[in-house]
Structure 1
Amino acid sequence: MIQSLDRRTLIGLATLGSMALLGGAFFFQFLGYAPCKMCLWQRWPHAAAIVIGGAAMVLGGERLLALLGGGAALITGGIGAYHTGVERGWWEGPTSCSGGGNGLDMGNLLSTTGGDVVMCDQVTWQFLSLSMASWNALASFALVALWIFAATRKS
């Protein structure tokens, strides 16, 4: 079925995928799940993919833009995979938000953020034993495939 879709439709689907993932992140934040620093990092490439997808739709679905959209999805997927490893203790995360807060000047940081620091190595929500970062990585890598498939379509 996906083989019958043209480049423009595939780009639209990939763009909608990033919109859904970014919207989901904001919805979870609305529900009270405050994002950590790495969660926020994962949002920016989705925003870029949405802008790239919009530009591709206006410009007729350019192949280069589809590759750039795939690159943005790959970046957020990579950050999500890295974040998953930090959450699972496979490797260390940024000292500013993991490892018990080593390297944090809590008095200074709290005075500028106005709230508690959300630690990057703590899982605040999971489904089927996968955290939000893990789900973002899996979905983003699927979007990479969609973007690349779009780029290889003839139009």
Structure 2
Amino acid sequence: MTMTRQKQLILLAASGSAALMLGALAFQHIGGMAPCSLCIWQRWPHVIAIGLGLAALVALPRLMALGGLLAALATAAIGSYHTGVERAWWEGPSTCTSSDTAGLSAEDLFEQIMAAPLVRCDEVAWEMLGLSMASWNMLASLALAGLWLMALRAR
């Protein structure tokens, strides 16, 4: 039994998401780099894409490819947003970034410090070639979106 080109592309794209997830988990559990909230948000679409890739082996590959494309674009969008937060192009969620301390009393400042997240979204924890993990996830996810699109268009 031969596998169609569409299913091959779907498995390749889903495998890419699996590789990115394994890399993120390795950084977390082997490298000791705890993820921030936005990092966790970026993982969920990859998990969905992996599930869709496996489901495509059984039924509805075109529908699964559409779902995978949307999942890849979602994680790319979150990665882009996270990159902007890291680069201070815009503010991130108040639950994982620092806020302005001007005009705070010592007591208010202490409360803000104590309520601060352990891992902040607005700090780059690791980078390669000037790009953070969020940026690399965005680029890799856009490439995966291209594979999902090719699978969607395959006959």
* Interval containing the TM-score (normalised by the shorter chain): 0.7 to 0.9
Amino acid at match of 1:73: A
Secondary structure class of the residue paired with 1:39: helix
Match of 1:20 in 2: 19
Q: How many residues align?
A: 142
Q: Identify the residue that residue 123 of structure 1 maps to in structure 2.
A: 124
Given the superposition, is the C-alpha separation of residues 101 and 63 from structure 1 closer, same or farther in structure 2, using an over 3 Å criterion? farther
Question: For structure 1, which runs of at least 5 residues remain unmatched after alignment?
Answer: 111-115
Could you report, residue by residue, the CA deviation over 1:59-112 in whole angstroms, capped at 9, with x for unpaired residues?
2x621110100100110010000000000011110011013498x8665x58xx
Which amino acid in 2 is paired with 1:10?
L
Query: Structure 2: which 5+ residue stretches go unaligned?
Result: 102-110
TM-score using structure 2 length:
0.85
TM-score (norm 1): 0.85
Q: 1:119 to 1:100 in 2, by over 3 A?
A: farther
Kindly, what percent of the aligned residue pairs are identical?
52
CA distance in 2, matches of 1:42, 1:93: 14
Would the alpha carbon gap of residues 79 and 101 (structure 1) be closer, same or farther in structure 2, given more than 3 Å must change?
Answer: farther
Kindly report structure 1 stretches of 4+ aligned residues shifted beyond 2 Å: 99-102, 104-107
1:136 matched to which residue of 2?
137
Please state whether the residue corresponding to 1:99 is helix, strand or coil: coil
Q: State how 1:1-155 maps to structure 2 within 5 Å.
A: 6-30=5-29, 31-59=31-59, 62-100=61-99, 107=114, 117-154=118-155
Looking at structure 1, the residues matched to 129 and 122 of structure 2 have their Cα atoms a distance apart, in angstroms, of 18
Distance 1:151 1:117, change over 3 A: same
